[in-house]
Amino acid sequence: MHAVLLAAGVGRRLQDITGGGPKCLLPFGEMSLLERHIRLLAAAGVHRLTVVVGNEAMQIEQALSSMTPDVAPEMTVDTRHNAAFREGSTASVLAARDVLEADDDVLLMDADVLYDARLLAAYLGDGAADRVAIDTGVGADDAEAVKVALADDRIVAFDKRLPAGLTYDRVGESVGFFRLSPATADALLLACENAHADDSHAPHERALQTLMTAGEARFAAIDIAGTPWIEIDYPADVDRAMDDILPALAAL
């Protein structure tokens, strides 16, 4: 499996905290989000990582070159540059085209997530090649959550706002990580191309929505409710990450 970490964004809502630098270099405890990703992936047996960079790319590249030999000496780490990092995240997925076109399963990950090591088990175990982890502890009324709604275990919606009148029996928040089979990775590239052509500021979640609800791939939704994790988008998320999530994480 080849992990692809999307870390090109500007993170405008956290600029007072980051000073305009990459969110993935924010420290939580004794290490940055980026170092935690590398340690957790290496411990889980994922030894190939591509980081898509853009905003302040040199900061991330310098951090990778300095930390990887010590924290994950067996991991192969490289970068892809998204020159259009001020546009939507579909551009970041397209920047890693060569990785997604290879014949490997891909673990596509947002870089701004603080999470427990146990969460990766949802992606690395046996079963369906295409999968998404959802937290059913988050309800359909959470306006900020990207929600996954299921009916009879099939994904019928993937969006912040669920369609009016939608029939579903289970809903949860997407963690922002996706395991893709080679065929689905190819389909995601095409969906990102179409979404980006239609709107250069389109997020890659729009392309994933197409695959999950209208494409041929059948994603398995793995419930990780109770596993500590948080996406870092707002200053309040940083506070919650430090106060609630970090103390609950299993030791690395």
Q: Is it the case that residue 20 has pLDDT exceeding 90?
A: no
Q: Give the start-to-end residue ranges of the domains of the chain.
A: 2-248
Mean pLDDT along residues 206-217? 89
Distance CA 189, CA 182 (A): 11
Long-range contacts of 209-214 (CB under 8 A, 24+ apart): 209/158, 209/159, 211/184, 211/187, 212/132, 212/148, 212/155, 212/158, 213/155, 213/156, 213/157, 213/158
- Residue appearing with tokens 């309800």: 139
Q: What is the pLDDT of residue 18?
A: 79
Q: What is the pLDDT of residue 242?
A: 96
**How many CB atoms within 10 Å of residue 120?**
23
Any residues with CB less than 8 A from the CB of 250 and at least 6 apart, and which?
Answer: 116, 117, 118
Q: Is it the case that residue 44 has pLDDT exceeding 90?
A: yes
Are 1 and 48 in contact by the 8 Å Cβ rule? The answer is yes
Query: What SS3 state is found at 242?
Result: helix
Are 102 and 181 in contact by the 8 Å Cβ rule? The answer is no
Return the minimum-mean-pLDDT range out of 31-45, 77-91, 125-139. Answer: 125-139
Are 68 and 50 in contact by the 8 Å Cβ rule? The answer is no
| Angle between helix 33-43 and 57-71 (nearest 10) | 40
Q: Is it the case that residue 230 has pLDDT exceeding 80?
A: yes
Q: Is it the case that residue 139 has pLDDT exceeding 90?
A: no
Q: What is the pLDDT of residue 19?
A: 84
Any residues with CB less than 8 A from the CB of 19 and at least 6 apart, and which?
Answer: none
Q: Is it the case that residue 144 has pLDDT exceeding 90?
A: no
Mean pLDDT along residues 96-125? 94
Are 88 and 202 in contact by the 8 Å Cβ rule? The answer is yes
Mean pLDDT along residues 179-197? 96
Distance CA 101, CA 193 (A): 14
pLDDT, averaged across the chain:
93
Q: The CATH number of 2-248 is which of 3.90.550.10, 3.40.50.300, 1.20.950.20, 3.40.50.1980?
A: 3.90.550.10
Say if residue 170 is exposed, middle or buried (CB neighbours under 10 Å; 0-12, 13-18, 19+): middle
Q: What is the pLDDT of residue 112?
A: 96
CA 83 from centroid of its chain's CA atoms: 20
User: In b/e form, how buried is each residue of 89-115, taking b as 16+ CB within 10 angstroms?
Assistant: bbbbbbbbeebbeeeebbbbbbbbbbb
- Residue appearing with tokens 């999968």: 131
Distance CA 22, CA 14 (A): 10
